[in-house]
Amino acid sequence: MPEQLVFAMEVFLNGLMAGVLYALVALGFVLIFKASGIFNYAQGVMALFSALTLVGIMEGQVPFSHIINAVFGTEIHHFGWHVPALLAILITMAVMVLFAWIVQRYIFRHLVGQEPIILFMATIGLAYFLEGVGDLMWGSEIKKLDVGLPQGINDWIDLTTYNIFDYGFFIDNLDIVATVIAALLVAALVIFSQYSKEGRAMRAVADDHQAALSVGVSLNFIWIMVWSVAGFVALVAGIMWGTKSGVQFSLSLIALKALPVLMLGGFTSIPGAIVGGLIIGVGEKLFEFAIGPMVGGATENWFAYVLALIFLVFRPQGLFGEKIIERV
C-alpha cells in the first residue's frame, strides 16, 4: 500500500473523531432550535462555563474569589477540599439546570414572539454575559480538567495497524471514548424524545407551539427542560474538549465551528448534526493534509465555513433540513 494512502487513512480516522466532538456541540444547538426556534449562539460558552464550573467544584475553588480578594483585601482561593468527579458532575448538572431556569425566566420569557434574529442576538448577549460571569467566578487562566478519562495513544490500534500497513496509526484513547459517549448520548436522546412523556411533549412543541399549548403542554416547562438538556450536552462537550486541550477561552470558539456543521446538516435534524459533524471533521483534516502544505497551512480556520457556504448555494436547507417553503 502506498505510504500517502496510509497517512490519508489515519487523517481520515482522526477527522472522524474530531467530527464527533463538533457534532456534540451542534447537537445542543439543534435541540434548542427545534424546541423553541432560538438559535443559541451561547452553546459554546455554555460548554466553557460548565467545564469551568466542573473544574472549580472539583478543585474546591471559592467562586468569585478573585473579586472578593480585590474588594475586601482577603486572600482566599480554595475551600481546601476535593470533590470526586462524579459528584462534581452532578453538582455542575444542577448548576446548568438552574442556569436554564434563569435564562428562561428572565430572558426568553420576555422575548416570546420576537423575530428569530432578535432572539439570536439575545443569545450573543447571553454568551458575553456568561463568559464574563465564568471568568469572574472561576478565574480566566487555563485549567487542567481530569475526570479520569483515558488519554494517550491507543496501543491496540497502533499495534494492529502496524502489523497490517507497517505503520502504526495514532488514535487518541480520549477520542475513542468521546465517540462512544457521543453515540450513547445520541441514543439516549433519541429514546428520550421518542418514548418518554416529556420527550413527546418536546416534539409536539417543536412541531407547533400553539397546538401543543392547546392540548395542555406547558411551554415554560418544556423550554426549561430543553435548555437543561442542552446544558447537559454542553457539559459533555465541555468535559471532552476540556480534557483534550485544557479549559480555556478558546473552548467557546468551538461554537463557531459547530455553525457550519449545522448548516451542512440542517438546523432541525439530529442525525444531520452528526453527519454534518463527521463531514466537517473529515473534510477539514483531509483538506489540511492534501492541500494545506501548498497554501501555507492553517486551512482548518476557514475550510469548514467555505465548504458549508458552497454546499448551501446548491442546497439552501442543508442535508436533512426541512424544505423551506416561502409564501407571501
Partner 1 sequence: MFYREAGDFKTSYTDDNQTFPIKFDRYRYYVVLAVAFGIIPFIINDYWANAFLLPFLIYSIAAIGLNILTGYCGQVSLGTGGFMAVGAYACYKLMTSFPDVNIFFHVIAAGGITAIVCAAFGLPSLRIKGFYLAVATLAAQFFLVWLFNKVEWFYNYSASGQINAPERFVFGVPVTGANTDAWATYLFCLVFLTISAIVARNMTRGMQGRKWMAIRDMDIAAEIIGVNPMRAKLSAFAVSGFFIGISGALFFAVYLGAVEVGEVFGIQKSFLVLFMIIIGGLGSIFGSFAGAAFLVLLPVLLKLIGVDLLGWPTDIVAHFNLVIVGALIIVFLIAEPHGIAQLWRVAKEKLRLWPFPH
Binding site for partner 1 (CB under 8 A): 39, 66-67, 70-71, 107, 110-111, 114, 116-118, 120-122, 124-133, 135-136, 140, 256, 259-260, 262-263, 267, 295-299, 301-302, 305-306, 308-309, 312-313, 316, 324, 326-328
Integer Cα distance of 287 and 18 in angstroms: 14
Query: How far apart are CB 61 and partner 1 at their closest, in Å?
Result: 16
Shortest gap between Cβ of 275 and partner 1 (angstroms)?
17
Closest approach, Cβ 277 to partner 1, in A, equals 15
Nearer to partner 1, 4 or 301 (CB): 301
Closer residue to partner 1 (CB): 1 or 76:
76
Between 27 and 157, name the residue whose CB sits nearer to partner 1: 27
Contact 40, 233 (CB under 8 A): no
Q: Which of 143, 132, 174, 137 is nearest to 45 (CA)?
A: 132
C-alpha–C-alpha distance, residues 24 and 247, integer Å: 17
Smallest gap from Cβ 302 to partner 1, in A, equals: 4
Kindly report the length of the chain. Answer: 328
Q: Which is nearer to partner 1, 40 or 243 (CB)?
A: 40
Cα separation values, 256 from 214, 224, 262, Å: 37, 24, 10
CA–CA dist 327, 268 (Å, integer)? 20
Distances (CA, A) of 145 to 94, 184, 209, 324: 19, 22, 40, 42
User: Which residue, 165 or 305, is less far from partner 1 as judged by CB?
Assistant: 305
CB of 134 vs partner 1, minimal distance in Å: 9
Query: Least separation, in Å, of the C-beta of 120 and partner 1?
Result: 7
The CB-side HSE value for 228 (13 A sphere, CA atoms) comes to 16
DSSP state of 324: P
Tell me the closest approach of the beta carbon of residue 19 to partner 1, in angstroms. 18
User: In this complex, which beta carbon is closest to partner 1, that of residue 151 or of residue 301?
Assistant: 301
User: Residue 228 or 299: which CB sits closer to partner 1?
Assistant: 299
* Cβ neighbourhood burial of 37 (10 Å; 0-12, 13-18, 19+): middle
